[in-house]
Amino acid sequence: MQLRRFYGDVRPDLSFQGIYQLAIAVVLSAQTTDRQVNEVTQPLFAQYPGFKELASAHQKDIEKIIRSTGFFRMKAKHIISLSREVMDVYGGKLPNSREELMKLPGIGRKSANVILSVGFGIPAFAVDTHISRIAQRLGYTNSNDPIEVEKILTSIIPENEWTSTHLLLIRHGRSLCLARNPQCDKCPVSALCDYFYNIRKK
């Protein structure tokens, strides 16, 4: 795969240790950058090292720490409520099924798939705006529906490569295949790209 040769071994941009930190970081990552999340999770996890501690936190205290991530009131509410449910319903252990994860506050399908694949090593493919954009530009789909994009990509990508491909596509979307002014001249897969082909025809 050209992207794999171009980018090498790609790791998540979120900084985390263990499933607790990953889950909270993923919830905080909505509508902000991983870099911004990493700046707030260090003090957050130092003060609240697990679900138990976060479950008993005061929302105002959490808001002060995560304020710079945007939507901080809702995010603070979500991660506290999530932690309480993990403690009360799941005995302090995050569930490892998509259905159960999606019952938790702040976790949708994309977030659940990230937690499953990156945190638990369970095959799942998370589709974000970068992946959806790249899939459309490469001609795999015309759909903007993340579930439809997920179905298409998982039907053609081997299951054991879902996690690594997810990370590669995100890196590509953040580095070269930008929403505005994509750097097609530097792209290792431009020869396969419908978007690039249509640009050259003009």
Which residues are designated catalytic?
A: 110, 128
Task: Report the Cα 201 to chain-centroid distance in Å.
Answer: 35
DSSP for residue 4: H
Tokens of 95: 């569930």
For tokens 């998982």, the residue is 154
Quick check: 12 and 118 in contact, CB under 8 A?
yes
Comparing CA positions, the residue from 158, 157, 138, 134 lying closest to residue 146 is 134
Q: What is the largest CA-CA distance in the chain?
A: 60
